[in-house]
Amino acid sequence: MLQVALAQLRQHVRRFIAVGLAVVMAVGFLTATLMVNASTEASLGNSIGATFRNADLVVSEGQDKQLDGSALDAVTGAAGVGEVYAHRQASIAFGSAAGASYGALQNTAPAGLENLELLDGALPGDGEVAVDAGTAEKQGLSVGDKLELAPPAGMVAAEDVAAAGTALMVSGIVKPSKDPFMMVQPQLFATDALQQQLAGADNSWLRNIQFDLAAGADTAAVKDTVTAALADAGFPEASVNTAADQTKEVVASLTGGADQLTIVLLAFALVALLVSALVVANTFSVLIAQRTRELALLRCIGADRGQIRQSVLAEAVLVGISASVVGVLGAVGLMAGIITVLQGQPDTEFATLAVPPYAVIIGLVVGILMTVLAALAPARAATRVAPLAALRPADEARAGNSKGKVRLAVGLALAVGGAVVLALGAVSADLLIALPGGMLSFIGLLMCATLFIPPLVTAVGTLAKPAGVPGKLAAVNAVRNPGRTSATATALLIGVTLVAMMMTGAQTARTAFDGQLGAEYPVDLSVGDLTSAGRPLDASAAATAVNYDGVAAAGLVTNGGYAEVHGSRTGVYQLAPEQLALLQDKTLVLDGNTVLMPQGSELKKLTVTGSKGSKELTVVEADSWTLPPLISSAVAAEIGVPELPAADSEDYYSSLPQLWVSVDRDLDSWALLDLRSQLAAGLEVNEYQISGAAVERAAFNQVIDVLLLVVTGLLAVAVLIALVGVANTLSLSVLERTQESSLLRALGLTKSQLRSMLALEAVLIAGVAALIGAVLGAVYGWLGAQSALGAFATVVPDVPWLQLLAVLAVAVVAGLLASVMPARRAARLSPVEGLATV
């Protein structure tokens, strides 16, 4: 029977390629995911290992205590220790003709332990310093140039550094350290003595102590000796490791996050595998259905059921093996490509491709198993073909079987039960209850897809009526094999539901967060404190701010008096009537007798004191928790506006004017963050001094946008696989209907009508799947957001109509594309050819 399977594969290569494509994509995704983790570890190992590649043993600090001079003494004094390098690192300011900056000054190692790679010049000696290539380029430094180094203090201005600093000569340019802890900052290197002299008091910390073994010493013995010596010196938890072990340890501490990333990616790979299994199972079923006569003939001439099953499974194994191999190779190729690109970037030069055997093996095994498991049901169907079927004309109507009923019953039970649990989770705002409920109900729905997908396709199919005969036929053909249509649509439904769920969840979370922000921040943007030059903000700042695109209004809010709030003296701000509009909460009003206080002030009355007198005012609480006490400018004038106190006064900081800005509502997050940078530059303040609801909203939106993009991208793999499924089903159906297509052509259906008929059929299936997916996704997304956020925010469903419409549009277009190849094949057939193949 293997012979039969091989003949099948040879004869119908194209059909099996279609099956394989879905497997290739899912296996590729899975393998690439597994390689991400290994490659991250390899890259980190490569970079971290480089920093102690010449040492025999490395001492690193324990949880209890940092390494310092006494640890160094303990190591140096221990028996069997050769050369020792205590790795020091201190913050330092450096200045050259090109300007000043902060950097990390490290000491060089004794010759045997040195791991710096010189690109130019020599390692630093007395009065010399080496810099990394990146910094040298930025600062325009080359060997022989002068560089001023000074201990870090306040502002970094070239003239300050020059005044306080020590002049050194650049002796050499070294390769930037591959140490991920070091990569972001300028790296400078000096001799041990000079480093300690320049870095000053704060330099006792040792990053690690690396050392060689004395001639003839035994690694394990020295390790024990040094460990004991360190314990005696008061470092019981310090560890002594070989360089290789130490690398592993650091990598492990760094890749905790990478593991989580892998788990998340694996979840998406799992979705892709599930969809792929559905597509494979469905395609195999169609292939079997089309071979009914042939299988029956085999049974007629004496093949038993087992042989038929084996033949089908053999096909599945062969397809599984070849597709999995291609998938794994594809994943390796993809990762190699990405790593090569990363290696070209200076910051990720150390990127290393790792192809762990487990990734390859898991990819292959999962791919083959999935294909075979997916083929089990079709194989069973193949064994049920009666020998007599060879003699009977293929019969259109098929009765439902009992196994189908069991599946429907289980599916319904799961769907209803899961939905109840999900609703419970949403009501009690508990994601841990909602999540399993949601998953169960979704699985249940998928299991009884045959109940609702075909009727929906038929219903939507009536929309195709105006397209005339092709439309009518497309609607009928789309549900000709309800099982096949349901399986095809289900594969697509999964991906679309997840995408729509993420979109709705994100949008709902955004809206909920917006509500929270309104309560937290009184204004869109508030700019506080002093400019970089140390001056308070003044009226010119408001004038500057309104000139920027995206700023709707801006006003300087100044001190209007002081009050005792729960025993502490607080500055009270005055608000001119036109400035009231700057507040987020437009319902707030201020009159001659009220003071606005933040939420939770627990006060009824507050006495505000100005320069001329004081007044008792009624407290009105705002929703915001961070609103400063506010009085109207009329009241402030009545009690006398105080002068701005002197800079050393206690009242200074609570009296400084603030600039309040309201921004255009339609500003997107990128534009807003950009505006913040522009404002910071224009007002001469640091970006962190500009805060407020708009910034938080922008930052949050940005995170959500990026997450959504990534998740959608990952789910796109599953959607793509499902579309391969749509194309598969359609092309097999086209093959099956060759005679019918020819007949229609003979009777006057034009080529383009034939093509549009198939296109409509694909669009119907894809469109209905996307429609159901979008609706389900919206519901799941809302309930999910409610379960996750309901405990600390009011969650109102917010459906991202535009995004969901876009998903629908993509599905429809993709359906069209999926029909292109099958339709072209069908149209190529001349009417006579089809009639000949009786």
Partner 1 sequence: MTTSTEQSLAGAAPDGAASAAATRGLNKTYGTGDTRVHALKDVDAGFDAGKFTAIMGPSGSGKSTLMHCLAGLDTADSGNIWIGGTEITGLSDSQLTKLRRERVGFVFQAFNLVPTLTAEQNITLPISLANGTVDKDWFSYVTKTLGLTDRLAHRPHELSGGQQQRVAVARALLTRPDVVFGDEPTGNLDSKVGAEVLSLLRRSCQEMGQSIIMVTHDPVAASYADRVVLMNDGALVGELDRPDTDTILAALAKLGA
Among 395, 648, 650, 666, binds partner 1 (CB under 8 A): 395
Strands (E) in 652-703, as ranges, are 658-663, 690-691
- Shortest distance (Å) from residue 487 CB to partner 1: 20
- Give the count of alpha carbons within 13 A of 58, CB side only: 26
Nearer Cβ to partner 1 (386/746): 746
Nearest to 146 by CA among 162, 159, 164: 162
Please identify, using beta-carbon distances, which residue of 273 and 473 lies nearer to partner 1: 473
Nearest approach, Cβ of 739 to partner 1 (angstroms)?
Answer: 5
Closer to partner 1 by CB, 309 or 745: give it: 745
What are the structure tokens assigned to 815, written together?
């359906």
DSSP secondary structure, 85-150, as one string: EEEEEEEEEEEETTEEEEEEEEEPPPGGG----EEEE----TTEEEEEHHHHHHHT--TT-EEEEE
Alpha-carbon gap, residue 112 to 116, rounded angstroms? 11
794 or 830: CB nearest partner 1: 830
CB of 381 to partner 1, least distance (A): 21
Nearest distance from residue 486's CB to partner 1, in Å? 18
Segment interacting with partner 1 (CB under 8 A) among 217-225, 367-375, 391-399, 455-463 = 391-399
- Residue closer to partner 1 by CB (options 476, 589) is 476
Instruction: Please state whether 144 falls in left (phi above 0), alpha (psi between -120 and 50) or beta.
Output: left
CA-wise closest residue to 817 among 737, 731, 745: 731
Please select the residue that binds partner 1; options are 193, 746, 791, 806, rule is CB under 8 A: 746
Minimum distance of partner 1 from residue 10's CB (angstroms): 23
Q: Which is nearer to partner 1, 196 or 290 (CB)?
A: 290
Q: Considering beta carbons, is residue 201 or 397 the nearer one to partner 1?
A: 397
The reply to whether 436 sits near partner 1 by the rule CB under 8 A is: no
Query: Which of 184, 301, 345, 396 contacts partner 1 by CB under 8 A?
Result: 396
Q: Which C-beta is closer to partner 1: that of 469 or that of 710? A: 469
Q: How far is the CB of 480 from partner 1 (least distance, A)?
A: 6
The reply to whether 477 sits near partner 1 by the rule CB under 8 A is: yes
Q: How far is the CB of 396 from partner 1 (least distance, A)?
A: 5
Under the binding rule (CB under 8 A), the answer on residue 473 touching partner 1 is: yes
CA–CA gap between residue 621 and residue 519 (Å, rounded)? 11
Residue 126: phi and psi, rounded to 5, are -60, 135
| Residues in binding contact with partner 1, number by CB under 8 A | 28
Residue 482 CB, nearest distance to partner 1 (Å)? 13
Beta 594-597 vs 614-621: how paired, if at all?
Answer: parallel
Stretch that binds partner 1, among 266-274, 333-341, 563-571, 740-748 (CB under 8 A): 740-748
Q: Give dist(CA 84, CA 76) in Å, integer.
A: 7
Kindly tell me which of 677 and 752 has the beta carbon lying closer to partner 1. 752
Q: Is 739 in the site for partner 1 (CB under 8 A)?
A: yes
Closest distance of CB 469 from partner 1, Å:
5
User: CB under 8 Å to 329, separation ≥6 — which residues?
Assistant: none
Q: How far apart are CA 770 and CA 493, in angstroms?
A: 6
At its nearest, how many Å lie between partner 1 and the CB of residue 476? 4
Stretch that binds partner 1, among 218-226, 467-475, 555-563, 651-659 (CB under 8 A): 467-475
> For partner 1, which is the closer residue by CB, 697 or 745?
745
**Residue 748 found at the interface with partner 1 (CB under 8 A):** yes
* Cβ 78 vs Cβ 226: under 8 Å: yes
Kindly list the distances between the CA atom of residue 284 and the CA atoms of 4, 16, 806, in Å, as whole numbers in the listed order.
Answer: 16, 9, 32
- The answer to whether the CB of 811 falls within 8 A of the CB of 770 is yes
The reply to whether 747 sits near partner 1 by the rule CB under 8 A is yes
Residues 479-498 that bind partner 1 (CB under 8 A): 480
- H/E segment holding residue 687: none
List, in order, residues 6 or more apart from 345 with CB less than 8 Å away: none
- 752 sits near partner 1 (criterion: CB under 8 A): yes
Minimum Å distance from CB 376 to partner 1? Answer: 30
Please report how close the Cβ of residue 752 comes to partner 1 at its closest, in angstroms.
Answer: 7
User: In the set 498, 744, 757, 768, which binds partner 1 (CB under 8 A)?
Assistant: 744
Site of tokens 């695109």? 549
Distance CA 269, CA 586 (A): 48
Residue list 285-344, contact with partner 1 (CB under 8 A): none
- From CA 511, how far away is CA 506, in angstroms rounded? 9
Q: Which two tokens stand for residue 104?
A: 């990390």
**Residues found in the chain:** 838
- Interface characters, 201-240, with partner 1 (x: CB under 8 A): ----------------------------------------
Q: Which helix (H) or strand (E) holds 379?
A: helix 357-383
- Name the phi and psi angles at 594, rounded to 5: -120, 155
Q: Using the minimum distance from each CB to partner 1, give the nearer residue, 248 or 751.
A: 751
- HSE value, Cβ hemisphere, 13 Å, CA-based, for 66: 10
* Rounded Cα gap, residues 766 and 759, in angstroms: 10
Distance between start and end Cα atoms, the chain: 27
169 binds partner 1, rule: CB under 8 A = no
Instruction: Name the residue among 571, 552, 553, 569 with its Cα closest to residue 561.
Output: 571
Q: Is 257 in the site for partner 1 (CB under 8 A)?
A: no
469 binds partner 1 (CB under 8 A): yes
Please report how close the Cβ of residue 402 comes to partner 1 at its closest, in angstroms: 24
**Smallest distance from partner 1 to CB 807, Å:** 31
Angle at 541 between CA 535 and CA 542, to 5 degrees: 145
Instruction: Tell me: does residue 648 bind partner 1 (CB under 8 A).
Output: no
- Residue 446 contacts partner 1 per CB under 8 A: no
Among 12, 248, 751, 824, binds partner 1 (CB under 8 A): 751
Residue closer to partner 1 by CB (options 384, 465) is: 465
Q: According to the binding rule CB under 8 A, does residue 666 interact with partner 1?
A: no
Stretch that binds partner 1, among 69-77, 203-211, 288-296, 737-745 (CB under 8 A): 737-745
Q: Give whichever of 538 and 833 is closer to partner 1, judged by the CB atom.
A: 833
**Quick one: DSSP state of residue 829?**
S
Q: Tell me the C-alpha distance between 170 and 95, whole Å.
A: 12
Q: Which is nearer to partner 1, 257 or 748 (CB)?
A: 748
Q: Rule CB under 8 A: say whether 399 interacts with partner 1.
A: no
Among 413, 443, 743, 775, binds partner 1 (CB under 8 A): 743
Q: How far apart are CA 815 and CA 805, in angstroms?
A: 15
Beta strands in 308-358 (DSSP E): none
Give 37 or 756: the residue with its C-beta nearer to partner 1: 756
Question: Any contact of residue 397 with partner 1 (CB under 8 A)?
Answer: yes
In the bound complex, what is the minimum distance in angstroms from residue 822's beta carbon to partner 1?
A: 18
3-state secondary structure of 649: coil
Q: Does 824 bind partner 1 (CB under 8 A)?
A: no
Do 173 and 89 contact (CB within 8 A), yes or no?
no
Q: Given the rule CB under 8 A, which of 130-138, 324-332, 413-421, 751-759 is the region that contacts partner 1?
A: 751-759
Distance of alpha carbon 542 from alpha carbon 291, whole angstroms: 79
Return the structure tokens found at 436. 């399993």
Select the span of 225-233, 291-299, 354-362, 827-835 touching partner 1 (CB under 8 A).
827-835
430, 439 contact by CB (below 8 A): no
Q: Which positions touch partner 1 (CB under 8 A)?
A: 395-397, 468-469, 472-473, 476-477, 480, 739-740, 743-753, 830-832, 835, 838
